[in-house]
A and B are shown apart, each in its own frame.
Chain A
Amino acid sequence: MRRMRKLFGALAAALALAGCSSSLQPVDPAPAGAVQQPQPAGVGGGEPSDTASTSSCDPNAISLRPSGSLPAPGQFPAGSRLKKIHDRGYLRAGIDQNTYLFGFRNLTTNQMEGFDIDRVREIAKAIFGDPDKVQFKVITSKEREAALAGDEVDVVARTYSVTCARAKIVDFSAVYYTAGQRVLVDRRSKATSLDDLAGKKVCAASGSTSIKKLTGYPSKPVPVSVPTYADCLIMLQQGQVDAVSTDDTILAGMVKQDPNLKMVGKQITEEPYGIGIKKGDDNFVRFVNGVLQQSISSGAWQASYNKWLRGTGEEQPVPTLRYRD
């Protein structure tokens, strides 16, 4: 009997030992695995700069001088692009609906608004006498050249930087605003410029000059490209990128939507904004420049600037339009 009891004792001890080491762990009831954050559609990486030599032109004086005063609305020579647009009944404009201050939808009125949209409406007013005769077509930064070349839109007013490489594919109006690339970070961030963001994820729109600048930048940030700048803002808010780097004007619109962000660093580029026009109709380019000239001299440009951009960054003087003639 005693021997038996000893044997059972030893057996129980052995079992307990075995139990402790393996099977007595509480079971994880619902392993969730790694959490994947939702992402905007079409997130990509860096994009190389255009290979075209940059010294071949002066982006600030690339366009054609208006010829005399503007024709009255509707009075256009037969066969001209202006006549065709007038006959169609509306102007087709490539814009963005997510760039606060420049091109966005006012959700109360459901109308498109912004600094770029004001330029489009001025052109429509000069053609039709009615600033509302516009079909707004939302396009991404990347689609701007193709939309013009494919004749989907007549003009593109979408924070469109004039570059010599682009000028080979599309025509540009005179420069009506000059922005510069800066950096947007969280208010608590210690970064003071792009130089402090080595190895950090920095967001910009696909096909923009900004993403190209980021891709080759010496401090080697990790470029993240998205279809629109609003996607950059939400990725910054969700902590999926560390910074957004693009034109200060666009960044200013983001700060207005989220005061927890701040713009840092100097302008690292100069971004001269022009209105993109399908290549091949000089008279139309001259007409658009005439509209811009009139807007500046009538004070409309200033009013538009005051409405959207005053106080968001460095004060901009009224531009002086320059031409190659």
Chain B
Amino acid sequence: MVTTAAPETGGRRVRSIPATMVRNLTESAATSPGRLTLIMVGLFLLTVVTSVVGVTTVLSRQNTIDDLINHQEPLSAASQQIYRSLSDADATASSAFLAGGVEPADLRSRYEADIAQAGAALAKAAGDVGGVEGAAQQVNQLSQALPVYTGLVETARANNRQGFPTGGAYLREASTLMRSELLPAAQELFRIDIERLNEGEDDATAIPWFLTGFTALLLAALIASQIYLTKRTNRLLNVGLLVATIAVGVGVIWGALAMVVGSAHISSANRDGSQQVDVLVQARIVALQCRANETLTLVARGDGPQYETDYQKLIPGLVAKDGGPGTLLAKAKDLAADNAQTSSSVNAAIDSASKWHNAHLEIRKTDDEGDYQAAVKAATGTEPTSAAQLFAKLDSSLDDAIMSGRKAFVERADEAGKTLTGLGPGLAVLGLVALAGVTMGIRRRLQEYR
């Protein structure tokens, strides 16, 4: 298009520069040396572009994997930590209320640790919302409501210490805020962060189509040039071009192998790591909800049939008598099949969960039969058979399993990163070798025309 620009104003004498270039090119392409020069320039440019694309693809993939390890995975861990800490804080505050006017020191310090942990994890999540609108919104809501929640709990505490029943009402208000705003926001944040993690994993295993296209083009061009040269000259082989082709071939095989193996590692990081953790976190969320319902039933003292209904609705999703295949813990167990450490933690969790559920049934029976004090004791006591202790065991087993899942993720993802070691510089060197080959191979032929 540009070549015929403004011929009517300038006439034939004043050609535009691109037009001149194209004319010169077409003219020189008609001669053999010209054609050779063209082939050399073409191959040279294609090799440069392909090498650059190759190196940047590898670097960006390494970045993606580093990002998964140092950024996305810790982020999703932080958001699950927010949920756990908040939910545990709420259940602990309720237990402390059941215990009476001055709460036991261990419950108080547990509540304080929960709030501190939630705050720290929230700060981590806030610093890393990464322009994701939904995540920013949840973090904002959490940041606004958390101080209000703690304020209500402290007001409840001040009233409790004076023996005023208003304390119970403040605690209920706090719990309502927790259950209606904070926990749903934390759950949504976790969902978003897991989604981001999965997207990162997809990026790290995607086939680099752009690079594949250029490489195929370069290989085809190299082979075509060699065939052309073999036909034009009587030499069977052009050493320079052959070297270039071999260099590109080595690059292709190395790159493909590294990426295939790396993708396999990422896939296994997904299965043994992030998927496992996702299921375990869901199990933990259900367990925490059930525990909160258990204590709130007692706090409400008869005025809370909906809490027990919620418990009964949720618990079958967590664990079943026959270790039923549909439950979250059974799913976690399946996923942990070839990871001994996770597997043993999950088994411990299943064991604690069913013991806890039995303790819960016993508590409900005791309470329904009229012995409220005994029910409270069984729910919040410090003896190893109390629901509080069994739940704590379940929670710590789940925590172990989650940690071991996270470890599996980091290890596998690191393996994936390692497969790319040296590939970037390697491709650069191979690119330079190919360039040298192309230049030398064709310059030899060109010199024959002098």
Contacts and interface: CB of A to CB of B under 8 A. Distances in A.
B91 to A, nearest CB: 17
Given A135-B370, A234-B170, A38 B301 contact: no
Contact of A105 (B145, B168, B170, B177): B168
Given A38-B148, A108-B101, A234-B166, A139 B302 contact: yes
B144 A32 contact: yes
A105 B165 contact: yes
Contacts of A233: 166, 169
Interface string B226-268: 0000000000000000000000000000000000000000000
Interface string A86-123: 00011010100111100011111110000000000000
B172 A138 contact: no
By size class, the interface of chain A is 35 or more
Nearest to B170: A234
A98 B370 contact: no
Contact of A92 (B144, B177, B303, B370): B370
Nearest to A153: B302
A97 B148 contact: no
A40 interface: yes
A257 B174 contact: no
B165 A97 contact: yes
Contacts of B429: none
Contacts of B174: 38
A200 interface: no
A262 interface: no
B165 A98 contact: yes
B62 interface: no
Interface stretch (B156-164, B328-336, B344-352): B156-164
B169 A228 contact: yes
B188 interface: no
A166 interface: no
Given A40-B173, A98-B165, A234-B166, A136 B302 contact: yes
B169 A231 contact: yes
A39 interface: yes
**Which of B163, B167, B372 neighbours the largest number of chain A CB atoms within 10 Å of its CB?**
B163
Interface string B293-308: 0000000111100000
A104 to B, nearest CB: 4
Contacts of B170: 234
Contact of B160 (A99, A107, A143, A237): A107
B159 A137 contact: no
A218 B105 CA distance: 52
A40 B174 CA distance: 8
B152 interface: yes
B100 interface: yes
Given A107-B160, A138-B300, A257-B159, A230 B169 contact: yes
Contacts of A30: 140
B373 interface: yes
B24 interface: no
B169 A40 contact: yes
B380 to A, nearest CB: 11
A45 to B, nearest CB: 18
Given A139-B303, A143-B303, A230 B152 contact: no
Given A90-B370, A98-B169, A135-B372, A41 B176 contact: yes
B23 to A, nearest CB: 39
B303 A230 contact: no
A234 B165 contact: no
A323 to B, nearest CB: 31
Contact of B301 (A97, A227, A237): A97
Nearest to B301: A138
A209 interface: no
Interface of A: 30, 32, 35, 38-41, 89-90, 92, 94, 97-100, 104-110, 134-140, 143, 227-228, 230-231, 233-234, 237, 257-258
Please name the 6 residue pairs, one residue from A and one from B, whose CB atoms are nearest each other, closest first.
A230-B169, A137-B302, A107-B101, A135-B370, A104-B165, A138-B301
9 contacts: A38-B173, A97-B165, A98-B166, A108-B100, A137-B301, A139-B302, A140-B303, A230-B166, A234-B166
Given A105-B165, A257-B162, 16 more contacts: A32-B144, A38-B174, A40-B173, A97-B301, A98-B169, A100-B165, A100-B166, A106-B163, A109-B100, A110-B100, A134-B370, A136-B301, A138-B301, A140-B303, A230-B168, A230-B169
